[in-house]
Structure 1
Amino acid sequence: MAAPLGWDVEPEPEDPRTVSLRFGVRPVRLVVASDRATIAPDGWTLLQQTRAQFGVESVRGVGLDHVVFVSPFNESHPFNESHPFNESHPFNESHPAEGGYRPMSTYGIPGSGGRQPVAYVGPPPRRRKAAALPGRRPVVALLDTGCAPHPWLDDVVQTDVTLDGHSIGFDDPATDPDLHGDLVGDLDGMIDPLSGHGTFIAGIVHQACPDADILSWRIVPSAGPIAESDWIVALSQIAELVRRDRAGEAGGRRIDVLSLSLGYYHETPEDLLFDPTLYAILADLSANGTVVVCSAGNDATSRPSFPAAFAPWADGSGPVPVEAARPPIVSVGATNPNGCSDALFSNAGPWVRAYVPGAAVMSTMPAFQGGLLPVARTHAFGRLRESIDPDDFRGGFGVWSGTSFAAPLLAGAIAARLLETAQDDEDLATVIGRAWACVAELTDITP
């Protein structure tokens, strides 16, 4: 179908990290076929033309890269699918694109759930020695913006796990959102929308299950969003780590729970034809005993967001049925701090199967000091006096809102339940049975 339009389709090399794996994506590039004038190459037009002439089944597994968003309230999810809620987010009152006041935008305002520093004065979560545990340490994996050094997390989070020497996700320190708060945008020192997101998520898991080990990989840039193909490459590698561990092969790693705070929406119903590419990877993880927990998104809509909508739908109408042979994907929405009401920003519908706190949550933050300044600063009696600096996180803690943070909270709760009975060298049936029991206890999903 490309030739009549004056285009050529050129296969590109597969990412070397997935060449020998069971899952991956083979990209192609659309180019002008000759020197004659023609319309600009357009992948969407070609895909639609092919579907119309040969039927949608002819291109099953073929699709455009989805734009995948994160879930905090900022430009990249809690109040967007991919960003935490910050003042700089279009979901804020100060954004002209909003066209006026929106109640949902209040979650982006510091003091109402937007990203802001706080002083935590309690003790750190109590992490027991391995000999004092009732079972083995559960492992929770995160695929997000990475994780910065932090006193709570330095001995808990591992960020350098690779597969056959290949990095998983991005590994250039110069582009690490949780090491460098301001990587993109104006030269104003403002902290990027998603910077610190992964560190914040890791702190939530640690609070929910202090005895869990955490694996963290970086796939989300500081301003989001990401290309689905990059995400699938990383997930393919993670699935291989889990498969090898289950098979007793070298180079594997156990993962009990995988928390994903990102997602995308379908442009058309035919997008379902590409979903098997992503779902097959997540189903493989589940089949090897990993519980996959996904944030529902922050757009206050019932429109299904994937991969969260791969969860079994309460009304039975979803794309994936319940299978007792593997734990289900778990979709998570957010509640307000009162615990009595759902957050106004949280997506909802029969595909959202659990709700936990996700608005105005406290957790760990990198030691950022952004470009904003206190309203007032002076000295008295030899001491510095100033009002609160709204983006000075050197105290190590902050408040943030979004379903991005509900997902790791539930993931940590599942890990805490697994800790009570999980042992080494268990057969797969026992692992899956226990995973199902934890999911059934904490959600309304049953086998």
Structure 2
Amino acid sequence: MSFDDALGVLRAVAEPLGWSVEPEDEDPRTARLKFGVRGVRLAVASNRATIAPDGWTLLQQTRAQFGVEAVVGVGLDHVVFTAPFDVSHPFDVSHPFDVSHPFDVSHPFDVSHPFDVSHPAGGNSGPISTYAVPGSGGRQPIAYVGPAPRRCADDRVDGRRPVVAVLDTGCGAHPWLDPVVERGVALDGVPIGYTDPVDDPELHGDLVGQLDGMIDPLSGHGTFIAGLVHQACPDADILSWRVVPSAGPLVESDWIAALAQIAELARRFRAGEPDGRPIDVLTLSMGYYHETPEDLLFDPTLYAILEELSRNGTVVVCSAGNDATSRPSFPAAFAPWTDGEGPIAVDGTCLPVVSVGALNPNGETDALFSNAGPWVRAFAPGAAVMSTFPAFQGGLQPVARSVAFGRNRESIDPDDFRSGFGVWSGTSFAAPLFAGCVAAALQDRFADGDDRDSAVTRGWQVVESLTGMTP
């Protein structure tokens, strides 16, 4: 169905309601690409008195009058969520540890709201809320005293390095990451994602409520993810783009535009065209739930882009979500379901989406917050994992401070990340850790040729070895 066809049926339904439907200019980021999203503006028609225009009502009426097939690929511009576990609002906890003794969290209901982000990562389960408490997996600084991941010199790498792409909040400066992360890669001179440093969550920790001194819920998220990829595969090169704001959620149309541009980079590389970039793995730590079963009709727009990436040899890895539910979260639920009931059938010519849930630190049990079900096909550590963090220092203060023998003494400052490392929890982090494992497994499989067919074959070999999924 063409854009003009969809516009026609929408206008036919809108006219009796007293509304007009006008197309917006095509997004310049995707105007010349195979995939993209084009918006329409809904307004009150001239010289009409009517109810306020409503996009959801128009879409429902169009489906009812013309049938759902008439508007396949048409949907609302949703918000998409990413959700680590964090207690970042100054009024959510009465004390950084919220207990009478600073080294003990003994009551599961000490956190009034467990997530404090707008992701449907909600739930008021007391046991799940403990993952958001510092000391139990919530975001907190740590001192890492081990060596940096060991990366081979370029002349010791056979073929080329595996490339992992991260689309998230960007990536901040860090000694581990500066030599391996490439930021700001564009397509034909057009930026991918957001590039304004003024609202960069990895440069500025406090962008929302700037006078409250609190580090925003998602600030540092992308840097943390990049560090996990680097730990799992030190020899991988990492491409980082920003499409997630510091407090979330992200705008679906911006997300899809960035994915379309990234898919074009991968396609050009496999086709041997100029300005392509190899992308062996793409990790996505965000998702959404369908409002109604009919919302599946919009997914072809998103899945077509992911399929393009997959057919060009990119393994797309998606976090399963943190709601402790079996309700399918997309794009993770595009993975092949173990019961065969999923929306996407296995295709040996196309790599599968890999959905990843979170394990506890013991590496054996699933984290209580992790989504689960036949659509979750892999698990990786995602609770209380350690990784890189921008050198933020928030407004919280140590509980106690004194001076003795000429030396300053104080308890831990709960949001002083100048060490460059922290602990955090969420399937947001299980996915990139698994993506790094995919890259490490791919590293030894690069042959002299690197065309589309060999990339898909190689990717399936790795996916099968790590998940048991078969083409």
Cα distance between partner residues in 2 of 1:439 and 1:353: 10
Paired AA for residue 111 in structure 2 = E
Q: Is the 8 A contact 1:143 1:216 kept in 2?
A: yes
Letter in 2 for 1:37: A
Q: Which residue of 1 aligns with 2:57?
A: 45
Distance 2:222 2:97 in 1: 19
Q: Distance in 2 between matches of 1:27 and 1:425?
A: 41
Name 2:400's counterpart in structure 1: 376
Paired residue for 1:95, among 87, 91, 113? 113
**Matching residue within 135, 138, 144 for 1:111:** 135
TM-score by length of 1: 0.94
CA deviations over 1:97-122 (Å, ceiling 9, x no partner): 98976211111001000000011000
Count, aligned residues: 436
The answer to whether structure 1 residue 352 and structure 2 residue 370 are counterparts is: no
**Residue type of the alignment partner of 1:94:** S
- The whole-number CA distance in structure 2 between the counterparts of 1:408 and 1:255 is 14
Gaps of 5+ in 1: 77-85
Contact 1:71 1:295 (8 Å CA) reproduced: no
What corresponds to 1:21 in structure 2? 33
Distance 1:56 1:149 in 2: 48
1:247 shift after superposition? 1.1
1:188 and 1:215, CA in 2 relative to 1: closer, same or farther beyond 3 A?
Answer: same
Tell me which amino acid in the other structure corresponds to 2:61: Q
Structure 2 unaligned spans of 5+? 1-12, 89-95, 99-108, 117-121
Quick check: 1:140–1:255 contact (8 Å CA) kept in 2? yes
Query: 1:199/1:131 Cα in 2 relative to 1: closer, same or farther (>3 Å)?
Result: same
Q: 1:99 to 1:444 in 2, by over 3 A?
A: closer
Distance 2:393 2:204 in 1: 10
For 1:209 and 1:64, the matched residues in 2 are separated by 38
CA drift of 1:92 comes to 7.8
Sort the Cα spacing of 1:258 and 1:340 in 2 relative to 1 into closer, same or farther, 3 A: same
Matched, 1:204 2:228: yes
User: Equivalents in 1 of 2:184, 2:211: separation in Å?
Assistant: 31
For 1:109 and 1:241, how far apart are their aligned partners in 2? 40
Cα offsets for 1:325-348 (capped at 9, x unmatched): 121110000010011110000000
1:168 aligned onto 2:192 = yes
SS at match of 2:461: helix
Q: Deviations over 1:268-307 (max 9, x none)?
A: 1111111000000000000000000000000010000000
**Which of 167, 185, 194 is the equivalent residue of 1:143?**
167
Distance of 2:353 and 2:281 partners within structure 1: 10
Q: Does 1:399 align with 2:423?
A: yes
Q: Distance in 2 between matches of 1:132 and 1:171?
A: 34
Q: Quick one: which amino acid aligns to residue 108 of structure 1? A: A
Question: Identity percentage over the alignment?
Answer: 74
Partners of 2:123 and 2:457 in 1: CA distance: 50
Corresponding letter in the other structure for 1:265 = Y
- Distance in 2, matches of 1:246 and 1:3, equals 46
1:244 to 241, 255, 268: 268
Displaced runs of 4 or more, over 4 A: 96-101
Q: RMSD of the alignment, in Å?
A: 1.9
Q: How does 1:50-89 map to 2 (within 5 A)?
A: 50-74=62-86
Corresponding residue SS for 2:397? coil
Answer yes or no: is the 8 Å Cα contact 1:414–1:438 preserved in 2.
yes
> 2:263 is paired with a residue of what secondary structure?
helix
Quick check: 2:143–2:421 contact (8 Å CA) kept in 1? yes
Structure 1 residue 281 and structure 2 residue 305: aligned? yes
Q: Judging changes above 3 Å, is the alpha-carbon distance between structure 1 residues 7 and 74 closer, same or farther for their aligned structure 2 residues?
A: farther
